Structure 1
Amino acid sequence: MKPDPIAEPALSLRATVVIVGGGFGGLACARALGNSDADVILIDKRNHNLFQPLLYQVATAALSPADISEPIRRTLGRYPNIRVLLGEVTGVDADAGAVLLESGMRVSYDHLVIATGSEYNYFGNDDWRTWAPGLKTVHEARLIRQRLLLAYERAELSGNPVEKRALLTTVVIGGGPTGVEMAGAVHELGRYMIERDFRSLRAEDLRVLLIEAGPRILNGFPDHLADYAADYLRNIGVEIRLGDPVQKIASDHVVVGSERIETGCVIWGAGVKATPAARWLGVEPGPGGRIPVAPDLSLPGRPEIFVIGDCALAKDDAGEPLPGLAQVAKQQGRHLGRALRRKLEQGTALPPFRFHNRGNTAVVGRNAAVFDFGRWQMKGRLAWYLWAIVHVWLLVNFEKRILVSLQWIWRYVTRQRGARLIDESAPEVPATTARSETSNV
């Protein structure tokens, strides 16, 4: 029997399961352990869970942050055996069985679940993050929205045609699902605002560029779906640049290949890497910083430690790494939570995890999406309807599903976006005065 490090009034003979991370995997694992014979502690540096697949709609003023997020305490409050701690993990003392927090607190565990997800990879150019935020947090989505809307306001005020066109130019870096979704949504937002709400802007000055260093966009999808997405984006006016890596990002321009492109807003979606959990555990990470795990999702040599979600390098039956998708993290979390529950209550061994592919999807624009189910695929309006149904269903609770559904219906009918708010108190560097340069990739 060990003392509880977070100052509970009494000692406990129950096993303690500590979950680090309140994303898809962590929440699914915690819910599966709800009302079990274990004391569960979930630790996250943020007080809310976030439905990241719809974060791009916050960035493009289609939804508000509250529509796709919920306090973790509210999500897990129904389970009396689960405690939520707000804190940032800085390390793990595996020999002592304790998680270390930035505050100096040590949280002991019998079983540890690492579900910290991933972050954007700037490939050694972390200075780019200042001028090209990604889409992992509410703060980043609001920052992108702020810069997009401010660029249009500044363009309205400008009497210089060259500056006006530069401010109406948005560069999206990365041709994966996030980049494709952002490019389509930014173009739709810009065209609607120019045609309806601005008086000195012209639709022909709107420019959205999608930059991909590889030979095609949507590399994880079959060729014909990627070609459909590319054709759709080009037809609505998005420019796609393939095969040219980004060389430099500054406050008011990017350099792609040998071309300098003046821009009012830059958005990053070019790659991700795992959070530094491998360093906490003192293990050698695999590709992308992910931690190799055993079939039961445990850390080899440490059967009491488990890694799930984007930071885990788990493999399917064919030996191929599982993708960093929300459905993978959610299935792993639910599987591990149920398996741990059976182990603690019945003493059964943990079975291996097997992923059931529910399909990979990306929305391209209004009435256009692609769906890849492996053996068969969908594209166009039907895929767009299915994408909407799936994403609404995956939201955290019934209230969010109703709110988002009603807003989507209203937006579809009216084309209006109700979250076009500029926070006048938020710090913002004017694109015409500030500059930050970095070295070539």
Structure 2
Amino acid sequence: MSRARPKVLIIGGGFGGLFCARRLGKVDVDVTVLDRAACHVFQPLLYQCATGTLSIGQISRSLREELADYHNVQTLLGEAVRLDADARTLTARRPDDSQYTLDYDYLVIAAGMRQSYFGHEEYAAWAPGMKTLDDALSIRRRLFGAFEIAETLPPGPERDSWLTFAVTGAGPTGVELAGQIRELATRALANEFHAIEPEEARVLLFDGGDRVLKTFAPALAHQAGRTLEELGVEMHFGVHVTDVRRDGITVSPKGGGPDEEYATRTVLWTAGVEAVPFARHAAEMLDATTDRSGRITVNEDLSVPGHPDVFVVGDLAGREGLPGVAENAMQGGWHVAACIRRDLATRGRRKYRYRDLGSAAYISRGHALLQAGPVKLTGRLGWLGWGFIHIAFLTGVQNRVSTVATWMASIARANRTDRTFILGGSGHPEEPYTWESPVHQGNHAAKDDQKA
């Protein structure tokens, strides 16, 4: 350890990184939080941003603003790309591809996970995940854009494909998305179109298991399934999505049998997660073991074996009994900060013990699940409990107040206040949701040549 004030470098401004930085605030250390977006995103509510209920500003907050009262904490925009564990330095990349180097005495890896396509990265062009604000805005563009495009088409298979929405994975995110799309179609958009009937939109939910929400108690999961059926969600279990393309998907039964084809122009992927590239690189540099998804094996205090100066928190921490949920990241970040403080006081570190505070999932207006120890709530009681939990963990008083106000308005009225979407480019040559695609530009160029 250097003789100057210890330097703590935190990679990631999610729940784990933010809670660690907060607890180290005003401690005799210098803390740097490195994040690709320089903001904290409340991921559990990304789907509400994607479906037009909440705005970006209501589910995110600038890290610089959030940590402004902690004068020993600075935030930097950048992506971690290279680690030198021997020199205790980290190289970060700026958005313009230039790089800079940071040194540390303690390193906290809280970079989180990304969507996994199980080796088929080509699916990402047509099936966005739900991990970032960019993902939420991409999904919003696809959802509302699909209804708008369908309005311009005559009745028939092409229009039907635009009004068919496929969701892969029946975990909390998949269930929440499926329920919200049906609620959007049957309430907010029901009376706004002339050529189409939004209520006729199909929502297909695919999962390899035998029920939704496998981490919840069977009785709660069964109730969730019934609610989804009442909403009109078509559920398909025991299957894998084995191909995703511009105009449809292929689904294969796990037990064998013929593949099934579904014509759809909107596919949303929530089926799996994997470590971000830097986490895999860090594991290699630290000579640490990882599981199949790239989670890094950690000691009982969340440090990496052989590297007491390096910690891993949140989804990336590979230890039995640690779930990939926000509560684990929060508690892990808090614990790592406590370990560093105890090191400074020359006291022994304590083991990390995760406390399960429960799980919650939103299905539709007036319907949610809440599971906390012996307490199991569904329906309106579960809905109220879900709301209180999410409001409690939102960052910033202003975000809490505006979110409550928006929810109250959405209860009273069917409309959604944040439905604006931008037809920007995604970088994919066949992206159908942009005016800037090469095909579109080529058509304009041809017309200009004809005029000349």
Aligned to 1:253: 248
C-alpha deviation, 1:203, in angstroms: 4.6
Aligned to 1:301: 306
Helix, strand or coil for the counterpart of 2:293?
Answer: helix
Distance (whole Å) between structure 2 residues aligned to residue 431 and residue 163 of structure 1 = 16
Contact 1:309 1:332 in 2 (8 A): yes
- CA deviation vs aligned residue, 1:314-339 (integer Å, no higher than 9, x gap): 33xxxxx3100000000111121133
Contact 1:251 1:431 in 2 (8 A): no
Aligned to 2:341: 341
Q: Residues 203 and 149 of structure 1: is their aligned pair in 2 closer, same or farther, counting only changes over 3 Å?
A: closer
What's the % identity of the aligned pairs? 39
The amino acid that maps onto 1:206 is A
Helix, strand or coil for the counterpart of 1:332?
Answer: helix
Distance (whole Å) between structure 1 residues aligned to residue 341 and residue 42 of structure 2 = 26
Aligned to 2:217: 222
Aligned to 1:67: 58
Structure 2 residue 14 is the aligned partner of structure 1 residue 15: no
Distance (whole Å) between structure 2 residues aligned to residue 389 and residue 240 of structure 1 = 29
Distance (whole Å) between structure 2 residues aligned to residue 151 and residue 389 of structure 1 = 33
Distance (whole Å) between structure 2 residues aligned to residue 203 and residue 20 of structure 1 = 43
Report 1:127-142 matches (<5 A). 127-142=122-137
Helix, strand or coil for the counterpart of 1:214?
Answer: coil
Moved over 6 A (4+): none
The amino acid that maps onto 1:284 is T
Distance (whole Å) between structure 1 residues aligned to residue 56 and residue 261 of structure 2 = 34
Contact 1:291 1:311 in 2 (8 A): yes
Distance (whole Å) between structure 2 residues aligned to residue 401 and residue 106 of structure 1 = 36
Match of residue 84, structure 1, among 58, 62, 75: 75
Distance (whole Å) between structure 2 residues aligned to residue 292 and residue 151 of structure 1 = 43
Match of residue 160, structure 1, among 134, 155, 158: 155
C-alpha deviation, 1:425, in angstroms: 4.2
Structure 2 residue 34 is the aligned partner of structure 1 residue 39: no
* Structure of greater relative contact order (alpha carbons < 8 Å, 6+ residues apart): 1
Aligned to 1:281: 283
- CA deviation vs aligned residue, 1:18-39 (integer Å, no higher than 9, x gap): 1111100000000000011001
Distance (whole Å) between structure 2 residues aligned to residue 180 and residue 372 of structure 1 = 16
After alignment, is 266-275 or 382-391 more displaced?
266-275
The amino acid that maps onto 1:362 is A
Aligned to 2:404: 405
Aligned to 1:176: 171
Distance (whole Å) between structure 2 residues aligned to residue 247 and residue 431 of structure 1 = 24
Contact 1:19 1:113 in 2 (8 A): yes
Unaligned runs of 5+ in 2: 253-258, 438-452
Aligned to 1:330: 330
- CA deviation vs aligned residue, 1:93-120 (integer Å, no higher than 9, x gap): 1111111223432211111110001111
Report 1:359-374 matches (<5 A). 359-374=358-373
- CA deviation vs aligned residue, 1:323-366 (integer Å, no higher than 9, x gap): 0000000011112113312322x221211111111101111111
Match of residue 146, structure 2, among 135, 147, 151: 151
Contact 2:185 2:199 in 1 (8 A): no
The amino acid that maps onto 2:294 is G
C-alpha deviation, 1:78, in angstroms: 1.1
Aligned to 1:267: 268
Q: How many correspondences in the alignment?
A: 419
After alignment, is 396-405 or 255-264 more displaced?
255-264
Distance (whole Å) between structure 1 residues aligned to residue 189 and residue 51 of structure 2 = 14
The amino acid that maps onto 2:121 is D
Structure 2 residue 325 is the aligned partner of structure 1 residue 314: no
Distance (whole Å) between structure 1 residues aligned to residue 81 and residue 199 of structure 2 = 50
- CA deviation vs aligned residue, 1:215-266 (integer Å, no higher than 9, x gap): 2211111211111111110111100000111121011211112221111311
Q: Residues 382 and 388 of structure 1: is their aligned pair in 2 closer, same or farther, counting only changes over 3 Å?
A: same
Aligned to 1:438: none
Helix, strand or coil for the counterpart of 2:405?
Answer: helix
Helix, strand or coil for the counterpart of 2:99?
Answer: coil
C-alpha deviation, 1:431, in angstroms: 7.7
Distance (whole Å) between structure 1 residues aligned to residue 10 and residue 354 of structure 2 = 21
Helix, strand or coil for the counterpart of 2:45?
Answer: helix
Name the TM-score, length of structure 1 as normaliser. Answer: 0.91
Unaligned runs of 5+ in 1: 3-11, 316-320, 435-441
The amino acid that maps onto 1:173 is T
Contact 1:165 1:205 in 2 (8 A): no
The amino acid that maps onto 1:281 is A
Distance (whole Å) between structure 2 residues aligned to residue 104 and residue 47 of structure 1 = 16
Aligned to 1:421: 420
Distance (whole Å) between structure 2 residues aligned to residue 144 and residue 43 of structure 1 = 27
Distance (whole Å) between structure 2 residues aligned to residue 204 and residue 101 of structure 1 = 48
Report 1:38-57 matches (<5 A). 38-57=29-48
Distance (whole Å) between structure 2 residues aligned to residue 300 and residue 388 of structure 1 = 39
Superposed CA RMSD:
1.9
Match of residue 90, structure 2, among 89, 95, 99: 99
Distance (whole Å) between structure 1 residues aligned to residue 383 and residue 296 of structure 2 = 34
Structure 2 residue 180 is the aligned partner of structure 1 residue 185: yes
Distance (whole Å) between structure 2 residues aligned to residue 255 and residue 373 of structure 1 = 37
- CA deviation vs aligned residue, 1:133-161 (integer Å, no higher than 9, x gap): 01111111101110111110111111132
Match of residue 292, structure 1, among 272, 291, 297: 297
After alignment, is 331-340 or 22-31 more displaced?
331-340
Report 1:201-220 matches (<5 A). 201-203=196-198, 205-220=200-215
C-alpha deviation, 1:193, in angstroms: 4.2
Distance (whole Å) between structure 2 residues aligned to residue 347 and residue 90 of structure 1 = 32
Contact 1:92 1:281 in 2 (8 A): no
